[in-house]
């Protein structure tokens, strides 16, 4: 993971320098060719804004890389959710903002009820009605 972050940092520095060079080249050489003459004092705020955007996007990228996935087959047992269709015994449940195919462990479960995952069968979850609310 650390190597991936360092590679991303090097890549972001290189692309940031390239973006700054392109901005300077456009303001100094390309715009005067089409009779658009911007004063050089415009270049400084533009480069500052571009650099601020680069720092912002880099920080968001690193945050996304470091964030662990919240849903997945490895950690679904014991997870709480809510039915979005009546399980007769098959239907859909919403767990952690995702829809999953589910089977009721014992009988039918009405739409809108809280459930807890008790088992997994491939990509289908086996759920049991729960009194505890989804957190």
Tokens of 69: 């996935």
**108: containing domain:** 73-129
Asked which of 66, 83, 111 is the last residue of a domain, the reply is 66
pLDDT at 73 over 70: no
Ramachandran bin of 115, using left for φ above 0, alpha for ψ from -120 to 50, beta for the remaining angles: beta
Tokens of 48: 């500052």
* Domain count within the chain: 2
pLDDT in tens, 3-18: 666 787 788 888 888 8
| Residue 14, in any domain of the structure | yes
pTM: 0.47
pLDDT in tens, 12-38: 888 888 888 888 888 888 888 898 888
Tokens of 45: 């705020």
Range ranked top by mean pLDDT from 9-18, 41-50, 82-91: 82-91
pLDDT at 121 over 70: yes
* Pairing verdict, β 98-104 and 114-121: unpaired
Asked if 32 and 83 sit in the same domain, the reply is no
Asked if 34 and 13 sit in the same domain, the reply is yes
| Residue 135, in any domain of the structure | no
Reference 87, options 111, 116, 65; nearest CA is 111
Asked if 51 and 80 sit in the same domain, the reply is no
**CA-CA distance, 113 to 25, in Å (whole number)?**
61
H-helix or E-strand containing 51? Answer: helix 43-66
Asked if 53 and 8 sit in the same domain, the reply is yes
| Residue 91, in any domain of the structure | yes
**CA-CA distance, 100 to 84, in Å (whole number)?**
10
Asked which of 66, 94, 114 is the last residue of a domain, the reply is 66
CATH number at residue 83: 2.40.50.140
């Amino acid at each position: 993971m650390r190597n991936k972050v360092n590679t991303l940092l090097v890549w972001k520095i290189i692309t940031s320098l390239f973006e700054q060079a392109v901005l300077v080249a456009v303001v100094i050489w390309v715009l005067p060719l089409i009779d658009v003459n911007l004063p050089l004092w415009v270049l400084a705020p533009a480069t500052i804004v571009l650099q601020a955007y680069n720092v912002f996007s880099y920080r968001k990228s690193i945050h996304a890389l470091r964030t662990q996935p919240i849903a997945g087959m490895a950690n679904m047992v014991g997870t709480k959710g809510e039915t979005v269709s009546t399980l007769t015994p098959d239907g859909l449940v919403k767990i952690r903002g995702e829809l999953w195919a589910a089977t009721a462990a014992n009988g039918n479960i009405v739409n809108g009820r809280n459930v807890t995952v008790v088992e997994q069968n491939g990509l289908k979850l086996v759920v049991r009605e729960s009194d505890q609310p989804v957190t």
